[in-house]
Structure 1
């Protein structure tokens, strides 16, 4: 398969800080080489620094990253390449969805990312990432991202979200989001396929994992699936569904002193692509 890896090295508006170091660390940890060894043609593109003002606000920078990612994803698809976005922040998936013309999303994350400016108690923009993709907030900002169209919540699969704020729990009782744990991927796949979705974006926040087995960043909650369970679930979902692109987010190498995460991400992506090729 022809692959374009797109690096978006921002975390909360900061270039190469925190999880913004993750994209480069995944590449230096051997992700591109693992894909090449598996027989894929791989090129790597870095969106670089999207704003020059060091005092740029997180919101403006976050959506500038989405704009840049949308363009790179569209170029990849126009060249017949499968886009894989390595991102510091989850909001970046809004740019990938826009570039792909995505009509559904699989969101694997220990958090719901379903807060809005009205419900958030922290003001953390990334805690509103999935809400943005689903058109629940930041509509005017998202509308400026080329190609962005909000995804119907009925076409969203939320995988293993275990750390939810009260407002998110209340929202999930009202919205038709498909919730699942990793072992129950088959039922979720069937429900999403029944919606007629044709261009599905897959988003994997690495903190979905059990931090005892894989700690990707500081935002850890006990429990969660082990890497093998995440791989099985993501590949299981990709088998019967049409995956248009992939985002891997929120890896902070400062919390991975032994470099355990990049090889596990390589295994996940290689197995996922193999599943897609075998469809």
Structure 2
């Protein structure tokens, strides 16, 4: 398969800070080598610095989304499958826009469904999925080239276990499909019902059980082990038309043994092999 890996090395508006160091760490940890050895043709593109010189979380975050949207569209136009390595979850809004995705699988220990009206901490990334679903930041999201909000009924939320009270209440009113990894087939069946044609796969690496794999400072007990997550996403990819992938929220400072990069390589290798069979 022809693959384009797109690096978006930002965390909360800061270039190469915190989780913004994750994309480079995944590359230096052998991701390209792993995919190449599996027979894939891989090119790497880095969006570099974007926006104004002064880093602002909100303005810079959406500028990153716009840059990613453009690179994803270029990749697709060149017949390449886009994989975005990002510091922040919000970056998936750019990938969704570039792909023209009409459905999304969101694997994350958090709901990312806060809005400016409900957020206690004002953390933009805690509003990432809400933005993708058109629930907040509408003017800024609409400025991302190609962005169209995804219907909440076309969203699968996987293993979200650390929810703020407002997110819990919101999910009672939304038709979002919630699932745990072992129940992936049921979730796929419900997602296929509205005929999803282009499904974006968003993987926040802190979805994992921190006892098995810690990707960043945000840890909540529970969640899948790496093998369980691989089985779930490969199962979904075998049934659904995956249009692109975002992998986010890896902070190498919390991975002293550098365990994450080879596991990401293994996950992507198995996932892409599953997609090639279809």
Alignment of 1:1-279 (within 5 A): 1-54=1-54, 56-279=55-278
Shift of 1:51: 2.8
In the alignment, the residues of structure 2 paired with residue 138 and residue 129 of structure 1 have an alpha-carbon distance, to the nearest angstrom, of 10
Shift of 1:223: 1.1
Give the RMSD, CA atoms, in angstroms: 0.5
Structure 2 unpaired stretches of 5+: none
**1:210-265 deviation per Cα after TM superposition (whole angstroms, max 9, x unaligned):** 00111000011011110000000000111110000000000000000110000000
Shift of 1:202: 0.2
Shift of 1:53: 1.7
Question: What SS does structure 2 have at the residue aligned with 1:197?
Answer: coil
**Taking structure 1 as the reference length, what is the TM-score of the superposition?**
0.99
**Taking structure 2 as the reference length, what is the TM-score of the superposition?**
0.99
In the alignment, the residues of structure 2 paired with residue 125 and residue 174 of structure 1 have an alpha-carbon distance, to the nearest angstrom, of 22
Counting matched residue pairs gives 278
Shift of 1:52: 4.2
In the alignment, the residues of structure 2 paired with residue 212 and residue 51 of structure 1 have an alpha-carbon distance, to the nearest angstrom, of 38
Question: What SS does structure 2 have at the residue aligned with 1:245?
Answer: strand
In the alignment, the residues of structure 1 paired with residue 127 and residue 237 of structure 2 have an alpha-carbon distance, to the nearest angstrom, of 25
